[in-house]
Amino acid sequence: MAKPKKKKEAEKKPEPARKEGLKEIVRDWRVLILIILLVLSVAAIYPHFENGKFTTALQFGLDLQGGSWLQMSFASEVVGFTSQRSADDLAAALNKRLDADVSQVGPGQLEIRKSFPRNELERAFSAENATLTTYEPGVSRATADDIKRILEQKINTLGTKDARVNLLTPVGTNVVRYVRVELAGVDINTAKSIVGKQGLFEIRIKTVGNQTEHVLFGNAITSVGNPQQDPTRMTWGVPFTLSEQGALDFRNAANQYGAVTDEGNHPISMLLDNVTVFSAPLDPALAKELMTQNVQRLSASTGSGTVGMNQAQTLEIHLRAGALPVNVQVANFGQVSAPLGEYFKFMSFIAGVLALLTVGLVIYLRYREPSIVLPMVGTNFAEVIILLGIARFIFQLDLASIAGLIAVVGTGIDQLVVITDEVLHEGKVPSPALYLKRLTRALAIILVAAGTVVFAMLPLALMDLSTLKGFAFITILGVLIGVAITRPAYGKIIMAVLSK
Amino acid sequence: MDWFSYDINRYTNVRMLAIPLIIFLLSLLVIGMTYASTGLPVRPGIDFKGGTAVTLSTPDSEDSIRAYFAGFPLEPITRDVSSRLYLLKFTKMSAEKNQQLIDKINARYPDASVDYIDETFGQTLQGQAIIALLFSFLGMAVVVFIAFRTFIPSIAVVSCAFIDMVGTAAGMNVLGIPLTLPTTAALLMLIGYSVDSDILLTMRVLKRQGKLEEKLAGAFRTGIIMTSTTLAAVLSLWIVSGLGQIEVIRDMAAVLLVGLVLDIINTWITNATLLKWYAEKKGS
């Protein structure tokens, strides 16, 4: 009991405050973490010269590297309803009444693939003994994923180097309202033609040997459904409908080349831009049916299990030949040329460096003590590097996030000021115990301030619609890194500096 | 080192509060006038009302650019000091007309940057921006209330942040900075940062021992440096982006500048006076 007390008394002595060499500071785990992260970040940013030009591994947004973007809304709604009728029954009735693709997408939810104002749908629903309860322009998640796959496929076939397709959902709903396509290094007219491009789809039939004969083109396909699983055979397939003429052509070909009697030797193949994407014999039951009548509703089955499902999804895209399941309208598009992006990048760099320098100057004017100013500015700089190091893996830096980064510089140093002033209170260098108490108090102020910034930025970080996600992320990340890593390390460093 | 002395006792509480009150009332007047004419407290930019923004880097004269785009709804052109970078804004037009515009731009200025926003999309964005501002402010207020757990000091901090926002919105109208996605982001940032110095002040006054005047003066010494460093960073940002005509960053920096200056007044006059009044009442 007596021993610890003695120890405490010894600590209370104002002098000598523990002298720590550089070695000991570096050995402190808080400082160690900071240094390790700093080294890792520099490695991640990987500044190097390539063909005599300075480059890094940082990813830049379109506004800093050049490229174009195209954001589209859907001519479609997802509506909620209540009715005594079954959803399938209602969907079929509405399909006819509205002359639009209507399908169930969830319990009590229908997707209508055509643009209608709310009041028009309300009238149609009440005419079918149902009540419309919710109305959201957009498409269901499943349809949106389809659209995304189709767009990605189109972009991939062109081999465009840096492209991304994002689905955007406004806050407070699960209905996808927009799809955004971003293509680096491409101007807007090229981007538009890539997105709007459709392929040539053809169905052929095998005749004799390796010979095939043309049956019909993609324009004979009037609609393509989502992949479905056969309830008895458990195989996946893509349902599609042929026009009347198409069904007639299909039947004639099947009869003419003998596929109706000998399915196995006359498989039907589907080609997109002259590449075979699907090939299978006629189903015996279908073959029999085709002997006597036209069949408009067909299904191409791929197989069972996940493989079959994935194949069905790909086949669906091929069947559509690049056409999207819903019509789209352009909501937002734009382009930034590479030279302009380069110029913005350069100016942002200048702005960042200047911000660091002016902040350093203000700090110097306040403390006039290099042994305080240098650790402060150094810690601040380290914070920026670590932030960039982490950002490199998560998102692309754009103009707004650079503004966020520079604001982090300004506020990061704020909190270092709070620590320094709190520790230096009354101008005296405190004993370690008092120092710890003050540091805790300073960290409390910082924690609350950090909390307000994080919560203020959170809505923006969660919002899908805005292009400011990166900005919000970098601000929040900056605050978190500050609170968790750089402030505690700075507290340690400044203590060591002051006790000298 | 003090740049000037801070003495909150020189005037009575009521007289101290007169300055921020006058600013607040003037701000409300400006916002009200903007609201009457646009339906929004701040004039909306292209992001929210729709239109096409174009940035050109060209040696052409302003007149020749204007002549080239004759027939399109072009708003007044702005350009940077080196006068080689032009900012053009077109109000909304039909889809075909818009495609014509893009073709025309790409024909003569292939290195131009273009940003088109559809009117409906603009409205959606605007709705989302309002939601973000509301939730952001609420989130900040919750953190403040949880941190202090006393009503009057918390409400003082939150109202100061609110007055800051109103004043900044008015400042945007006066300076002609439109409300766009980036400036909304700057406002959100301000919600978070403007309470920094208020928190410092409140923590020092409530949690530290000592004479009230000394605590206030000490908080001011630290707080004013905090705001100055942020101001310095933002000011350099504003100067560089202003010279370089980087509209996104320039507008964000301008909004932050206005907000931070107002924050100095609101923290060290409004909040400090309220807090002093609270501490004296509690102490007596």
Q: Which of A384, A421, A452 to mutate to test the interface with B (most CBs of B within 10 A)?
A: A452
Q: How far apart are CA A400 and CA A466, in angstroms?
A: 11
Task: Answer yes or no: do B174 and B130 share one domain.
Answer: yes
**Residues with Cβ < 8 Å from A152, sequence gap 6 or more?**
A163, A165
Q: Does one domain contain both B223 and B266?
A: yes
Averaged pLDDT, B21-32: 94
A187 interfaces chain B, CB cutoff of 8 Å: yes
B2 within a domain of the structure (yes/no): no
pLDDT tops 50 at residue A132:
yes
Q: Tens digits of per-residue pLDDT, B114-136?
A: 999 988 889 988 988 888 999 99
DSSP characters over B225-251? HHHHHHHHHHHHHHHHHHHHT-HHHHH
pLDDT per position as a tens digit, A379-388: 988 999 999 9
CA dihedral B118, B122, B125, B127 (to 10 degrees): -140
Pairwise CA distance, residues B93 & A70, whole Å: 18
Domain boundary among B88, B117, B146: B117
Contacts of A438 in chain B (CB under 8 A): none
* A369 CB within 8 Å of a chain B CB: no
In a domain, B143, yes or no: yes
Q: Are residues B246 and B141 part of one domain?
A: yes
Q: Point out the residue among B116, B229, B249 whose CB comes nearest to the CB of A333.
A: B116
Domain-embedded: residue B240: yes
B144 CA to centre of own chain = 21
Mean pLDDT, residues B74-89? 78
The count of other CB atoms within 10 Å of the CB of residue A497 is 17
List b or e across A246-256, with b for residues whose CB sees 16 or more CB atoms inside 10 angstroms: bbebbbebbee
A330: which residues sit within 8 A by CB, 6+ positions away?
A70, A71, A72, B95, B116, B118
Q: Which residues of B touch A349 (CB under 8 A)?
A: none
Q: What is the pLDDT of residue A96?
A: 86
Interface mutation target, options A64, A186, A460, A483, chain B, most CBs of B under 10 Å = A460
Pick from B77, B100, B117: which residue ends a domain? B117
Considering only residues 269 to 328 of chain A, which have any Cβ-Cβ distance to chain B shorter than 8 Å?
none
Q: Which two tokens stand for residue B117?
A: 């926003």
Q: For the segment A457-475, what is each residue's pLDDT rounded down to a tens digit?
A: 898 888 877 778 888 888 8
Query: Is the same domain home to B185 and B156?
Result: yes
Contact A455 B142 (CB under 8 A): yes
**Statement to judge: residues B106 and B243 lie in one domain:** no
CA distances from B147 to A160, B154, B155, B163, B164 (A): 51, 8, 12, 21, 21
Average pLDDT, stretch B47-74? 89
Same domain, B32 and B59: no
Q: Is residue B248 part of a domain?
A: yes
Average pLDDT of the segment spanning A7-30: 55
Instruction: Answer for the pair B126, B48: CB distance below 8 angstroms, yes or no.
Output: yes
Do A414 and B196 lie within an 8 Å CB cutoff? yes
Give A 389-418 residues with CB within 8 A of chain B.
399-400, 402-404, 406-407, 409-411, 413-414, 417-418
Q: What is the pLDDT of residue A159?
A: 63
- The predicted pLDDT at position B3 comes to 47
Give the separation between CA A258 and CA A265, rounded to whole angstroms: 9
Across the interface, whether the CB atoms of A359 and B225 are under 8 A apart is answered: no
Q: Are residues B27 and B77 in the same domain?
A: no
Is residue B224 domain-resident?
yes
Q: Would you state the pLDDT for residue A222?
A: 84
First to last CA, chain A: 33
**Taking 90 as the threshold, does the pLDDT of residue B228 lie above it?**
no
- A286: which 2 tokens? 């279908």
Are A366 and B249 inside 8 Å of each other by CB?
A: no
What integer pLDDT is reported at residue A4 of this predicted model? Answer: 43
- CA dihedral sign of residues A34, A38, A39, A40: positive
CA-to-CA separations, B247 to A263, A292, B80, B239, B244, in angstroms, rounded: 66, 70, 10, 12, 9
Measured in angstroms, the CA of A156 and the nearest CA of chain B are apart by 25
Structure tokens at B184: 């909304």
CB < 8 Å to B203, chain A: 441, 444-445, 448
* Nearest-neighbour CA in chain A from B232: distance (Å): 6
Look up residue B213 and give its amino acid: E
Q: What is the pLDDT of residue B4?
A: 56
Has residue B193 been placed in a domain? yes
pTM (two decimals): 0.80
Per the structure, the count of domains in chain B is 2
Residue A17 has pLDDT above 50, yes or no: no
Is B3 domain-assigned? no
Which of A347, A452, A465 comes nearest B240 by C-beta? A347
B130 shares a domain with B200: yes
Provide the CATH number for the domain around residue B111: 3.30.70.330
B276 plus B229 within the same structural domain: yes
> Which tokens in the block code for residue A127?
């005419």
What are the strands, taking DSSP E only, across A200-317?
201-206, 212-217, 221-224, 228-229, 235-242, 268-272, 275-280, 297-304
Concatenating the DSSP letter of every residue in A70-131 gives EEEEES-EEEEEEESS-HHHHHHHHHHHHTS-EEEEETTEEEE-S---HHHHHHHHHHTTEE
Relative to beta strand A201-206, strand B78-79 is unpaired
Which comes out higher in pLDDT, residue A436 or B191?
B191
Kindly indicate the confidence band of residue B81, based on its pLDDT and cuts at 50, 70 and 90: low
Nearest-10 crossing angle of helices A399-423, A432-462: 160
Q: Give the pLDDT band of residue B2 (cuts 50, 70, 90).
A: very low
Same-domain check for residues B91 and B167: no
Q: Are the beta carbons of B20 and B268 closer than 8 angstroms? A: no
Residues B210 and B258 in one domain: yes
* A52 min Cα distance to partner chain B (Å): 24
Residue A103 pairs in a beta bridge with A111
* Contact across the interface for B136 and A400, Cβ inside 8 Å: no
Mean pLDDT of B191-200: 87
Smallest Cα distance from B97 to chain A, Å: 14
**A90 inside 8 A of chain B by CB:** no
Contact state of B1 with A463 under an 8 Å Cβ cutoff: no
d(CA A90, CA A78): 14
CATH of the domain at B194: 1.20.1640.10
Mutate to test the interface with A, among B114, B183, B222 (most CBs of A within 10 A): B222
Of B129, B281, B279, B144, give the one whose Cα is nearest residue B212. Answer: B279
Portion 197-226 of A in contact with B at CB < 8 A? none
Nearest to A94 by CA among A143, A144, A129: A129
In a domain, B147, yes or no: yes
**Domains of chain A with bracketed CATH:** 14-63+337-498 (1.20.1640.10), 67-197 (no CATH), 201-321 (3.30.1360.200)
Residue B225: which domain range? 8-45+120-283
pLDDT at B172: 95
User: Do B23 and B160 lie in a common domain?
Assistant: yes
* Percent share of chain A, pLDDT over 90: 17
- Rounded CA-CA distance A346/B137 in Å is 34
Chain B positions touching A359 (Cβ under 8 A) are 229, 232-233
Residue A152 pLDDT grade (very low, low, confident, very high; cuts 50, 70, 90): confident
